[in-house]
Structure 1
Amino acid sequence: MPKNSTVALDKAGARARLKEAGVYLAMAELAGSGNSAESKVAGSNAILAGIAAADAICGLVLGERSAGDDHTQAINLLKRAIHPSTKAATSLKRLLTQKTPVQYGADAISASDAADLIKWARDIVQEAEAKDR
């Protein structure tokens, strides 16, 4: 797959991604107040929730989602799909910045860091839910 690419995502697919985002977010919130391992799992699920919700927004509005390795492309595609005053693009950027260290790194994350990731994911999920109305 090329570095910068998108794939089609129809409304049904976008709604499926939105449901997945909700489940990831619920799992993140469930694990978010525990020990460092639970915080890391919560953070990882929050990141997945944000990505799924961003996909849902892009699918609902643009009929496509990012499918490349370039996180900047995903953020720029999301910016095309939302009103500039929303927090979703900034929140996605924050989540994607933490993706590698949280999901693949050996270092623990704090409950506070997990709470931030959950908040940013919630911003994107709420925006996706608003687009689905």
Structure 2
Amino acid sequence: MPKRRTVRLDVAGARARLKEAQLHLAAAELLDLGAPAENKVAGSNAILAGTAAADAICGLVLGKRSAGDDHADAEGLLRRATHPSTKAAGKTPVQYGTDAISASDASDLVAWALDIVREAEARDR
């Protein structure tokens, strides 16, 4: 069983991750969904946005972020920081797989990323 790993993340680091989340989300929202490449790139950017926003939330609330390879650990840490769920489990097939994703799936990922980025922004106030 892999050891759970976290690293310290101060407010400045959390804000840097939030900025990255906002930029990945902006990139995801720029794409016209429909074609396989655009769907996959939008979905990948949405996942990167959500991951960065999750780090920001954990840093702002707990002062640390997940640094391990197990996405379940990151989800557990995020739940402890009060956000109900993540899409980290979808990261591997969307970002590293060769199969296309649908425009609907990409749109769902972008909507999820928007939600978690907004949550991180609210926690930074």
TM-score (norm 1): 0.88
Kept in 2: contact 1:6–1:66 (CA 8 A): yes
The AA in structure 2 aligned to 1:102 is V
- Structure 1 alignment gaps of length 5 or more: 83-87
- 1:31-85 alpha-carbon deviations (Å, 9 max, x no partner): 2524110110000000000000000000001110000111111111111112xxx
Count the aligned residue pairs. Answer: 124
Equivalent in the alignment of 1:122:
114
Q: Tell me how far apart the structure 1 counterparts of residues 37 and 3 of structure 2 sit (CA, whole Å).
A: 32
Deviations 1:81-119 (A, max 9, x none): 12xxxxx432x1xx2121111111111111111000001
Determine the C-alpha separation between the residues in 2 that align with 1:121 and 1:107: 21
Distance in 2, Cα, partners of 1:80 & 1:22:
22
Matching residue's letter, 1:42:
A
Q: Which residue of 2 aligns with 1:38?
A: 38
Q: Deviation at 1:4?
A: 1.2
TM alignment of 1:69-108, pairs within 5 A: 69-82=69-82, 88-90=83-85, 92=86, 95-108=87-100
The aligned counterpart of 2:4 is 4
Q: RMSD between aligned alpha carbons?
A: 1.2
Partner of 1:85: none
Separation of aligned partners in 2, 1:5 and 1:129: 25
For 1:28, give the aligned amino acid: A
TM-score by length of 2: 0.94
| Structure 1 runs, 4 residues or longer, greater than 3 Å off | none
Residue 110 of structure 1 is matched in structure 2 by 102
Instruction: State the distance in 2 between where 1:61 and 1:15 align.
Output: 12
Look up the SS of the partner of 2:7 in the other structure: strand
Structure 2 SS opposite 1:7: strand
Q: Among all aligned residue pairs of Structure 1 and Structure 2, give the percentage whose two residues are the same amino acid.
A: 70
